[in-house]
């Protein structure tokens, strides 16, 4: 199993990335625009928390405490492994 560690792999495999603000009063979150991020940072840029969050800030409150959460691709018709 290959590791999921760059923006290019996320895009190719259909992953989605949620970016959320960790400010208790804000809680703003968005789906990451992965193609735009890859355009800006490069497809080989890491997609792990420490790679991305220093480059991001909340678009609502401007906060810099950002979290990310990776959502695996939804593949209709495939069964969960047992």
What residues line the site for Zn ion (CB under 5 A)? Answer: 21, 23, 26, 28, 58, 60-61, 63
30 with 19: CB under 8 angstroms? yes
CB distance 29 to 35 below 8 Å: no
Q: Which is nearer to Zn ion, 9 or 26 (CB)?
A: 26
Instruction: Name beta bridge partners: 31.
Output: 18
Closest approach of Zn ion to the CB of residue 81, in Å: 37
Provide the minimum distance between the beta carbon of 19 and Zn ion in the complex, in angstroms, as a whole number: 10
Return the bridge partners of 17, or none: 70
* Least distance in angstroms from the C-beta of 67 to Zn ion: 11
């Amino acid at each position: 199993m290959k590791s999921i560690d760059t923006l290019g792999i996320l895009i190719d495999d259909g992953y989605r990335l949620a970016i959320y603000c960790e400010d208790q009063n804000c809680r703003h979150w968005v789906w990451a625009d992965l193609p735009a991020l890859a355009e800006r940072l490069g497809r080989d840029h890491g997609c792990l928390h420490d790679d991305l969050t220093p480059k991001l800030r909340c678009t609502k409150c401007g906060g810099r405490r950002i979290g990310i959460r990776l959502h695996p691709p939804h593949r209709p018709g495939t069964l969960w492994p047992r």
